[in-house]
Amino acid sequence: MSTRNTLLEVKDLHLQFGGVKAVDGLTMSVHENEIVSVIGPNGAGKTSAFNCISGFYRPTGGCITFMGKSIMRARPSRITQMGMARTFQNLRLFADMSIVDNVKTAAHATMSQSWYDAFLHTPRFRRTERACEADALAWLDFVGFSGDPEAFVGQLPYGGQRKVEIARALATSPKVLLLDEPAAGLNHTETQHLMALIRQIRDLGVSIVLIEHDMGLVMDISERIIVLNYGREIADGTPEETRNNPQVIEAYLGSDEEDAQ
Amino acid sequence: MPLVLKKSSSELLVPPNRHQMPPPAPFRWRSEKGALNVLGIAVFILALAVPFITASPYVISILTAGLIYVMLALGLNVVVGYAGLLDLGYVAFFAVGAYTSGILTTTFGFSMLEAVPVTIVVCIVAGIIIGGPTLRLRSDYLAIVTLGFGEIIRLTARNLEITGGATGISGIPSWSFFGWDMADGLVIAGIEFNGKILLYYFVALVVGLVGVGGISRLSRGKMGRAWKAVRDDEDAAEAMGINTYFTKITAYIIGAVWAGLAGQLMGTYLSAISPTSFTFLYSALILMAVVLGGMGSTPGVIIGALFVSLAPEFLREFAEWRYVLFGVLLVVTMIFRPQGIWPANAVFPWSPALAARRARRAKATEAPEGSAAGGPA
């Protein structure tokens, strides 16, 4: 593990909303090409930490480094352009755009097309649009989407929308992919497909950070598990180590002392 | 920090199963887009032919006013329909364009043509000044602040000396090209074109065509997708690497430039402007044209603008009742077609064949996904 390069490093991260400490001294790191899960009881600060890392919340303290550069004050769009993509806990697709356009939107920062190319329909416009469309369709194919890419996202069932969201995140060309509860609302078969898909994405050379409540999924695919409670990490290790860690068991089930009281 | 990070193509993540690029789609007039283009050209030719059918100054002048409304509605459609920014003070940019060209031509001796680039630059600057602080706000707050800015521009024009105060500017010259002035009129093949009325109609028509073509092209490119993404979900757009603030400013600037050019055209057409031409009522009417026609839909917005500008004329015979009827018509339209007369997601909204095809498609999309049989291979 130590031979791998570190892509993302979070040190002593703090996030406070008024008197509530959502993230309280979180330290974690993500290496190249690995699958890391972040778990913890409800309200442990998992999504808040994600939002800090991807730039949507401004942390109140600490430091976040991505590929050697500080991203503490960067806009979310800038962080995505640097190579960190994310999905959202509640699906957030562009509802009034077609499925393929949703994925094409993600190529925004990587395609070299200017507004006058579109205005004048230059050869570069046609070339970039076709390349962008080919990529979008290939990503949809990659995530296992089979259906009409010209349909609107609202016409898709929940599982299909999840796939489109992952395809869209991949189309931004990430090095690290943050998945916020990707299995929520999926049935058993769909979850199995999701697991295979996450491994395939890792095999492309993308690191995956996963927030998930489905323990079967987490234990099965994670190489490393980080457990959060009260906004700080309480454990960091392989699935086996995590399963037997008394602090983790205490966080999820409560301690004997608490029961005695 | 650079605004856009360019990645070299070797660093990009490439989908493993990326196939050959699809060949460019051949032009088919039977396809939805092809048919729409054919329809557009037919409407344009028809509009070109109108002065040859009836040369009544009344008809031509209300049509010219209608075309200026179309230009304004097209510009506002970028701001409201594509980028989803509710702008209640859009007429401010119309005023900026009209006053800039008016002052340049009457006070500084510019010709109308020379004033065009200056008008564009001034409108870009106005767009940045007004948009810069306001576009950090969201929805309701943005609407209120733009409303305020619209009034500020009007009141400034009313109180400055250079803008002529409450009386405004008069004696704005017409267009002249290479020594020929539009007011002189034109004789082609024995048909006499009266300058003041007819030629402005043609100018407005050509400028309108550029607007329709240009804006719908922009909306289909990278920038247009970014606008729509920002409209649908600002946070998700940021997560896609789109700088939403910059994207909103571009939409605002394009809207501003377009309104400014419409303002210049109106100034020279009427040869006089005054602050009363730029009240909130006009912002509201243009917004109504966009919402009524269908937000984000170019054909819809054109229909909406023509409706808003021409309906009061057609209802003239009802005398004092005409604005009541106009209001009732609007309410009825919105009840029966809340998404607009020609919604953005429909190419031909009334075609039953297309509706059936769309329904089949939706079904075909749902079936394999719902059964969860498909999945990553």
B328-357 pLDDT, tens digit each: 888 888 888 888 888 776 655 555 555 566
CA distance B119 to chain A (A): 20
3-state secondary structure chain B: CCCCCCCCHHHCCCCCCCCCCCCCCCCCCCCHHHHHHHHHHHHHHHHHHHHHHCCCHHHHHHHHHHHHHHHHHHHHHHHHHHCCCCCCCCHHHHHHHHHHHHHHHHCCCCCHHHHHHHHHHHHHHHHHHHHHHHCCCCHHHHHHHHHHHHHHHHHHHHHCCCCCHHHCEECCCCCEECCEEHHHCEEECCEEECHHHHHHHHHHHHHHHHHHHHHHHHHHCHHHHHHHHHHHCHHHHHHCCCCHHHHHHHHHHHHHHHHHHHHHHHHHHHCEECHHHHCHHHHHHHHHHHHHHCCCCHHHHHHHHHHHHHHHHHHHHHHHHHHHHHHHHHHHHHHHCCCCCCCCCCCCCCCHHHHHHHHHHHHHHHHHHHCCCCCCC
Q: Give yes or no for residue B29 having a pLDDT over 70.
A: no
Q: Which one of A109, A139, A159 has the shortest CB-CB distance to B372?
A: A159
Question: A-chain residues within 8 Å CB-CB of B374?
Answer: 144-146
Among A91-100, A133-142, B32-41, which is the least confidently predicted range? Answer: B32-41
**Domain limits for position B235:** 60-175+191-279
**Domain spans, chain A:** 1-83+174-261, 95-172
Residue B46 lies in a domain: no
Q: What is the pLDDT of residues B68-91, one digit of tens each?
A: 999 999 999 999 999 999 999 999
Residue B334 lies in a domain: no
What CATH number is given for A1-83+174-261 in this structure? 3.40.50.300
Residue B40 lies in a domain: no
Q: What is the pLDDT of residues A171-229, one digit of tens each?
A: 999 999 999 999 988 899 999 999 999 999 999 999 999 999 888 899 999 999 999 98
Give the pair of three-digit tokens for residue A236: 């960091």
Is A126 close to B366, i.e. CB distance below 8 A? no
Nearest partner of B12 among A136, A171, A168, A77, judged by Cα: A171
| Residues 6 or more apart in contact with residue B350 via CB below 8 angstroms | none
**Percentage of the residues of chain A whose pLDDT score is greater than 70:** 96
Chain-centre distance for alpha carbon B216: 10
What is the pLDDT at residue A155? 83
Best probe of the B interface among A93, A96, A175, by most B CBs < 10 A, is A96
User: How large is the ipTM?
Assistant: 0.90
Q: Give yes or no for residue B96 having a pLDDT over 90.
A: yes
Is B241 close to A174, i.e. CB distance below 8 A? no
Nearest partner of A71 among A108, A20, A30, judged by Cα: A30
Residue B154 lies in a domain: yes
**What's the average model confidence in pLDDT over A80-108?**
91
Q: Which one of B18, B237, B364 has the shortest CB-CB distance to A138?
A: B18
CA gap A144, A140 in Å, rounded: 7
Question: A-chain residues within 8 Å CB-CB of B368?
Answer: 146-147
Q: What is the pLDDT of residues B270-329, one digit of tens each?
A: 888 999 889 888 898 899 899 888 888 888 999 999 988 888 888 777 777 777 887 888
Can you give the pTM of this predicted structure?
A: 0.86
What is the pLDDT at residue B372? 40
What is the pLDDT at residue B26? 59
What is the pLDDT at residue B194? 63
Nearest residue of A to residue B233, measured between CA atoms: A94
Does residue A159 contact residue A146 with C-beta atoms inside 8 Å?
Answer: no
Q: Which one of B5, B244, B374 has the shortest CB-CB distance to A81?
A: B5
Residue B100 lies in a domain: yes
Domain count within chain B:
1
Does residue B209 contact residue B43 with C-beta atoms inside 8 Å?
Answer: no
**What's the average model confidence in pLDDT over B44-61?**
82
CA gap B282, B78 in Å, rounded: 17
CA gap B326, B331 in Å, rounded: 9
Q: Which one of B5, B236, B238 has the shortest CB-CB distance to A94?
A: B236
**What's the average model confidence in pLDDT over A68-82?**
92
CA distance B356 to chain A (A): 14
What is the pLDDT at residue B192? 63
Best probe of the B interface among A77, A88, A198, by most B CBs < 10 A, is A77
What is the pLDDT at residue B103? 92
Q: Give yes or no for residue A122 having a pLDDT over 60.
A: yes
Residue B341 lies in a domain: no
**What's the average model confidence in pLDDT over A28-45?**
90
Q: Give yes or no for residue B248 having a pLDDT over 90.
A: yes
Is A115 close to B250, i.e. CB distance below 8 A? yes
What is the pLDDT at residue B369? 42
Residue B291 lies in a domain: no
Q: Give yes or no for residue B132 having a pLDDT over 90.
A: no
